[in-house]
Every structure is written in C-alpha cells, then in structure tokens.
A = this chain, B = another copy of it.
C-alpha cells in the first residue's frame, strides 16, 4: 500500500503541528509553491485515506465546522522511513516552455529570440516573488530551518535560470547580427 508523494507532503505538514486541510493548502501554496502544489480535490480525499490508514487522526474537541488533523506515532514512523528511503528518484524539469525552446528551430529567428527573452523575464519574476516570501519567512524564527533553506534554493535556482536565458538571448542576438 504505497502512498503518493502528496500524501507524505501532508504527513510532513502535520508533523510540524496539527492543521486543518485548508491550513495545509495555505502553507504549501506559500512556502512550497516553487516545487509542489495541492488542490482540494486531492487534499481532502487524501486526508481521509491517511486517517483510515491510521497515520493521522482528527483532534477531538475542535471547532464544529472544522477538522484539525494531527499525525500519529505510526504516521511519524512512515514519514521518517520515506525520508530515509535510499531509492533513486529521477529528476525532471518538466516544463512546456522548454519543449517550445527545444523545437524553436522550426520558427523564425525573431520568434526564437522573443521566446528566450520571455523565458528570462519569467524566471526573473519568479525569483523576485520568492525572494519576497523568503524575507517574510526570515522574520519569523518559528518557521523550520529547512523551509528557509529550500526557499533560498528556489530563489537561487530561478536566478540561475534567469541569467542562463539572458546569456542565450545574447548568443542568439549575436548570430542574428552576423548575418
């Protein structure tokens, strides 16, 4: 009975503190948005499954219209085992824009250049946005250290890509001038 990565994401969020489904979505949307998303259509059914598996449980005496979940000892064990699992997992920067770029020999040089510029702009924007979130988190020392580290990775990651695409733009532009 394997769990999805999203199930472990939920388990991880509840390992920090008890939370409602809504609350979990909020924290993921803010702090984990550069590497993961959750939708309610995934979240609420998953919470029920985890509860049925005995890995989480509803806190008694919570507000009526709201279910606050907490992790059980079994859940904590499952989470730790998952984090420590040495199985190799492939990475993949799955990005439709990269597909466009990859086959952009098919379009003209002007469109190709424009595409490279748009990509650079996209990553600059994302970098700046994440840098903002990062500063907010830095002000709140209660946030786990690794949240800050992974967010910092996000900022530097998009900075790297922004610069790379700027470099590509220059290379494409140069070839244009030459002819």
**Which A residues have a C-beta under 8 Å from some C-beta of B?**
5, 8-9, 11-13, 15-16, 31-37, 76, 79-80, 82-84, 86, 88-89, 91-107, 111-112, 114-115, 118, 122-123, 126, 144-147, 149-150, 153-154, 156-158, 160-161, 164, 168, 171
A-B contact sample (7 more), CB < 8 A, given A9-B103, A101-B150, A103-B146? A12-B106, A33-B92, A35-B95, A89-B95, A91-B95, A102-B146, A156-B164
- Oligomeric state, in copies: 2
Q: Is the CB of A122 within 8 A of B160?
A: no
Q: Is the CB of A94 within 8 A of B97?
A: no
Chain A interface, >50% SS class: helix
Q: Is the CB of A100 within 8 A of B123?
A: no
A124 CB to nearest chain B CB (Å) = 12
Residues of B close to A13: CB separation below 8 A: 103
Q: Is the CB of B122 within 8 A of A91?
A: yes
Residues of B close to A34: CB separation below 8 A: 91-93
Known: A35-B92, A93-B35, A93-B93. A86 touches B118 (CB 8 A): yes
Q: Is the CB of A144 within 8 A of B105?
A: yes
Closest to A108 in B: B80
Highest count of chain B CB atoms <10 Å: which of A8, A93, A144: A93
